[in-house]
């Protein structure tokens, strides 16, 4: 059984697209279905957008699960184009 250590941990994001609806805390609220595009973490069109989640402890991480938005705009976002590993942009 997987332990989700990021739930409700402090999160920050490079910028906010719409502050009323797109807070970084929505990335760690344990809600994985958001079909209307609201109440999700969303940055502006930054050159290299980022999100940082403070796990507040040291963990051995075996996997990371990322959920893309499920509304019509989600199909235009390839989240794997924006992932980084050890701070380096994956090309």
- Model pLDDT, residue 2: 61
Q: Which residues of the chain have pLDDT under 70?
A: 1-2, 72, 74-91
- Model pLDDT, residue 79: 61
**Spatial contact of 43 and 14, defined as CB atoms under 8 Å apart:** yes
Q: Give CA–CA dist 21/29, Å, rounded.
A: 13
Q: Give CA–CA dist 18/22, Å, rounded.
A: 5
């Amino acid at each position: 059984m997987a332990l989700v250590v990021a739930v409700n941990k402090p999160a920050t994001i490079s910028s906010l697209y719409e502050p009323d609806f797109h807070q970084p805390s929505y990335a760690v609220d344990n809600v994985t279905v958001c079909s209307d595009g609201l109440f999700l973490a969303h940055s502006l069109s930054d050159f290299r957008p980022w999100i940082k989640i403070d796990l507040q402890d040291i963990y051995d991480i075996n996997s990371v699960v990322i959920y893309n938005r499920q509304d019509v705009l989600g199909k235009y976002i390839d989240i794997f184009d924006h992932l980084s590993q050890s701070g380096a942009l994956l090309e």
